[in-house]
Amino acid sequence: MTETALMAANRHRLRHLAKRGNKNAITTLWLLDRVEKLLAVILIANTLFNALSTALVTVIAISTFGNNDTVITIATATVTFLLIVFAEISPKVIGATYPERIALPASFILKPLMTIGLPVTWFVNLFVSTLLKTLRIKTGNAVQEARLSPEELRSMILEGGNFIPQKHKSILLNLFDLESISVEDVMTPRSQIEALDFSVSVEDIKHQLTTCYHSKLPVYEGEINRIIGILHVRKAIALLNQEHELTTQDFRQLLTPPYFIPEDTGVFTQLQYFQEKRERLGIIIDEYGEVQGLVTLDDIIEEMIGEFTTSVPGDARADAFNWDKQGQCVLEGTTTLRDINKRLHLDFPIDGPKTLNGLLLEILQDIPEAQVSLKIKNCVVEIIQVQNQAIKVVKIYQQK
């Protein structure tokens, strides 16, 4: 029972208890660090007990019923059955069911036994180590404890049950997801970027500044691929209160250099870059240098802990959506597939296009008319509105 409990004990839990000063856990870890000597003591004692009990029962049976083959056979069969039931299977099942509950108190018995049986265990381990070296099997300190992979850690969190609050579990799982997604998955697409065009008149610039929804705006000249800087709206608004006539150059002096990000940069890597470079906003570009979208520090934080910022008109990623009572959901074509899968608990493929519009166009390989329906992953998707060579509105019917 003790052997099984020690081998089945959760070492992470034991280390946690040991750090909190639990003496039983400290002793148990001490034993597990000397697993060769520990197993030698347990197995020697177990084997000795089994041999003595068999011999004792045989002697008693011969003394009582006489020395003949039938008596010896029945005695041997009886003691074997009793040992299997009461000394092997039942104790090991109990030990595997309650490993920490048994291993912790048993450690105080096993530690003195290891000291008492040191000469015997040394003699036995001498032959064991020679055999293992012959077979080229490394043991003891030569074998490093296997490290848990990210997927194994993820499984531990999922199986944490009631030990981890649901919100904490969600944040931990989102952290693992950051390793597998790129900034392209969390960016605001190019078509939804709120930017300022310096090629227009000063009056138009003033109007954009007084009606914008963000505290920082990318600034470009003529077309959005020619981004020349980032404008802090608060500083620009301060200029509007001045009496002299403003020019584009007045706003240009407030610009800070733009920070460009390759589209295949990992989200977790970009989080570290934002921290190192003390940036909060980056412009995502493709291999040709064309703007694909925009990502902010808030976007990445929301991937970890969930949305917390105020919804902005025109930002499909921030709009809440869910199934209605009829099991239907109306979405914009620009809604990202990751958001759909997360909110609606679907399984749309995310290894290709990033938006619902892109997925539908890839499957149809054509720009469809409205009122066209198709089935994706056992889910019916109906195209409601098509505009400017893009699918604008889509209705999804819940799986039944």
Q: Do you know the residue count of the chain? A: 400
pLDDT value at residue 316: 42
Residue 114 has pLDDT above 60, yes or no: yes
The answer to whether the CB of 8 falls within 8 A of the CB of 95 is: yes
pLDDT digits (tens, 9 = 90+) for 238-285: 887 776 788 888 888 999 999 999 988 999 899 999 999 899 999 999
Global pTM reads 0.61
Quick one: residue 30, left, alpha or beta (phi over 0 = left, psi -120 to 50 = alpha)? Answer: alpha
Residue 290 has pLDDT above 70, yes or no: yes
What is the C-alpha to C-alpha distance for residues 20 and 100, in angstroms, rounded to an integer?
16
pLDDT value at residue 219: 93
**Mean pLDDT, rounded, for 114-122:** 83
Each residue of 219-229: b (16+ CB within 10 Å) or e?
A: bbeeebeebeb
Closest CA relative to residue 264, chosen from 365, 347, 354, 362: 354
Residue 309 has pLDDT above 70, yes or no: no
pLDDT digits (tens, 9 = 90+) for 215-224: 899 999 988 9
Closest CA relative to residue 355, chosen from 317, 319, 306, 399: 317
What is the C-alpha to C-alpha distance for residues 124 and 138, in angstroms, rounded to an integer?
17
Q: Which domains does the chain have, with CATH numbers?
A: 2-145 (no CATH), 182-305 (3.10.580.10), 328-397 (3.30.465.10)
**Mean pLDDT, rounded, for 192-198:** 90
